[in-house]
Chains A and B, each alone.
Chain A
Amino acid sequence: MNQEKMTSSSSLTILYDTIRWEEKALYEAAKKKGVHVTNVDCKNLFIDLNKKNSEFSKKTIIQRCVSYFKSLHSTAALEGLGAYVINSLHTATLCGNKLFTHMVLQNAGIETPKAFSEESALLALEDLGYPAVIKPTIGSWGRLIALLRDKDAARAIVEDRAHMFPLYHIYYFEEFINRPPRDIRAIIVGDRVVAAIYRYSGSDSWKTNMALGGHAEACPVTNEMEDICLKAASAVGGNIVGVDLMEKEQDGLIVHEINNTTEFKNTVKVTGVDVPGLMIDYTLSLGKK
């Protein structure tokens, strides 16, 4: 979390491809604090990758692209030209891939669902057991995540994937976690967990993604949760991240995902915490270090 870069503390750039509630809230929070804020549409961004003394050098940029690939590549280009991007390329690379995140969390001693990744997918599932969850290593909003209740379901999914883009030939399975019908999204800004929500599954779904019609409620931030979340954020080098946790029966809180351009609309709505204002304050404070 301690990245030392030269930044301009009185101005910042928000890089977006779509202005959602979150991007507008960040923009308005920055303006309210008297910050000179520029919104840059990544879709119109032209970056000379070889330019010396680039106009992006030493700029503080909050990366908010909703597109994973746009976000990753623009972060790489801008950081390479000397901009200070929140979150960094290192963080984006780790958080954007579930298998990468899994390994980092495991090595940091943070509980995360048991997982397998094998060429021989069905053999791996025999070891993991059913039910199991198959996830694409890159992807969001619950897309292409499937609950495999038995070998027949697994065989059907694996066969389908054989006809898909090679990314989907990397089989990443997680144990199915027995938990209440909810998970937790905690928002970490610097070295604080500033707010957390429970995300409840929508009707007819076991997935808790808000994009799939679930609903949110405020979740108290316990010392245990704060400790786990800060360790998880540190493991990926994240400045501002959303950590997703599940309440595993008997074992307690486990981390299953870290989001480097986290959504926070529902968090603000149900907790009343000024998350965008805290994000702007933190970003500016980094520039002063």
Chain B
Amino acid sequence: MAKCPECDAEIRIPADSIEGEIVTCPDCGASYELLKTEAGFEIKPAQVVGEDWGQ
């Protein structure tokens, strides 16, 4: 679990998560990228969709 920095809601981090994966706050919809640390996963704000994204 992680706390959403925007709204303080609990964000569940699935057991099969990998570093770099995106999780979304169930309450406010903010997106975060998973960072692996010794203590488990932390979250940081995910990149917003870039002008040059996609295929």
Q: Which residues of A contact B (CB under 8 A)?
A: 16-20, 23-24, 27, 39, 41, 43, 66-69, 138-141, 143, 211, 242, 259-263
Whole-angstrom distance between the Cβ of B4 and the nearest chain A Cβ: 19
B53 touches A41 (CB 8 A): no
Whole-angstrom distance between the Cβ of A144 and the nearest chain B Cβ: 9
Interface 1/0 per residue, B35-55 and A, CB below 8 Å? 000000000001100111111
A141 touches B53 (CB 8 A): yes
A68 to B54, CA, bound (A): 7
A20 touches B50 (CB 8 A): no
User: Chain A CB within 10 Å — which of B19, B46, B50, B55 has the most?
Assistant: B55
B21 touches A19 (CB 8 A): yes
A-B contact pairs, 17 of them (CB 8 A): A18-B33, A18-B46, A19-B18, A19-B19, A19-B20, A19-B22, A20-B22, A24-B18, A41-B19, A67-B52, A68-B54, A69-B52, A141-B53, A143-B54, A211-B54, A260-B55, A261-B55
A221 to B22, CA, bound (A): 33
Interface 1/0 per residue, B12-37 and A, CB below 8 Å? 00000011111000000000010000
Whole-angstrom distance between the Cβ of A166 and the nearest chain B Cβ: 15
Write the chain B residue with the least CB distance to A258: B55
Write the chain A residue with the least CB distance to B53: A66
Complex contacts, A27 vs chain B, CB 8 Å: 18
